[in-house]
């Protein structure tokens, strides 16, 4: 092999090495990118299950499953209203976070594990509050002459419910903002039987 051939071979080798370095960097970027996205999904679920949101869930849960109105005082009413909105805004953050995650999907991928992970974590919560918000809202309205103005605050929850129904994770019988009554799959309608 002549000098020219050796130098040509060396040139090819360095090109291959450079390309390999790019591939390794790209793979590392992808895995770091995905790790950050999973962490984002986990944080959104954490928000729903801890702190002031967890406290708000207890109160909205008692509206959903309990007998509110007959014994409630005005203080209970305003505390319940605050909890109702605290929880709606949490779902609004989750919906916005989910939309941002879905936008950050690496091009060429049809499925996205981070979005699927988030959907699997929050689906049953969203299903429960599809009925829960409707029942809580009705009880709040019945217990006061003050209006519950929640159309803007509830829009994120409505979009999240729809997205999860389109993914097949939530029964399509649920409707955001209204309980479908006899056809509602929520457990609150069956608790008197147990
Ligand atoms: Zn219902
Ligand atoms: Zn219910």
Question: 178: which strand partners?
Answer: 175
In the reported structure, the alpha carbon of residue 21 is separated from the centroid of ligand 1 by a whole-number distance in angstroms of: 56
| pLDDT reported for residue 193 | 46
Q: Would the pTM count as exceeding 0.75? A: yes
In the reported structure, the alpha carbon of residue 188 is separated from the centroid of ligand 1 by a whole-number distance in angstroms of: 7
| pLDDT reported for residue 191 | 67
Q: Which ligand is nearest to the CA of 129?
A: 2
In the reported structure, the alpha carbon of residue 96 is separated from the centroid of ligand 2 by a whole-number distance in angstroms of: 25
Model confidence at 24, in pLDDT bands (50, 70, 90)?
Answer: confident
The mean pLDDT of 84-95, rounded to a whole number, is: 98
Helix ranges (H only) for the chain are: 3-49, 51-65, 74-103, 113-142, 151-166
Range of the domain at 136: 3-193
In the reported structure, the alpha carbon of residue 148 is separated from the centroid of ligand 1 by a whole-number distance in angstroms of: 19
In the reported structure, the alpha carbon of residue 23 is separated from the centroid of ligand 2 by a whole-number distance in angstroms of: 51
Domain count for the chain: 1
pLDDT digits (tens, 9 = 90+) for 140-175: 999 888 888 898 999 999 999 999 999 999 999 999
Distance of CA 135 to the CA centre of its chain: 21
Tell me: pLDDT of 34 over 70: yes
Model confidence at 89, in pLDDT bands (50, 70, 90)?
Answer: very high
């Amino acid at each position: 092999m002549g000098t020219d051939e050796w130098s040509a071979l060396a040139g090819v080798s360095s090109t291959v090495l450079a390309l390999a370095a790019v591939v390794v960097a790209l793979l590392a970027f992808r895995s770091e990118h995905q790790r950050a996205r999973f962490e984002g999904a986990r944080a959104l679920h954490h928000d729903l299950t801890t702190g002031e949101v967890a406290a708000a869930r207890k109160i909205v849960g008692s509206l959903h499953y309990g007998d509110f109105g007959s014994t409630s005082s005005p203080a209970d009413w305003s505390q319940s209203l605050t909890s109702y909105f605290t929880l709606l805004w949490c779902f609004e953050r989750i919906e916005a976070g989910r939309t941002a995650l879905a936008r950050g999907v690496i091009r060429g991928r049809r499925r996205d594990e981070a979005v699927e992970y988030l959907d699997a974590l929050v689906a049953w919560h969203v299903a429960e509050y599809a009925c829960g918000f409707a029942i809580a809202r009705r009880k709040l309205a019945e217990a006061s002459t003050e209006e519950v103005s929640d159309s803007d605050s509830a829009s994120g929850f409505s979009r999240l419910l729809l997205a999860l129904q389109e993914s097949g994770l939530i029964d399509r019988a649920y409707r955001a903002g209204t309980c479908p009554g006899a056809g509602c799959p929520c457990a609150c309608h069956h608790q008197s039987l147990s």
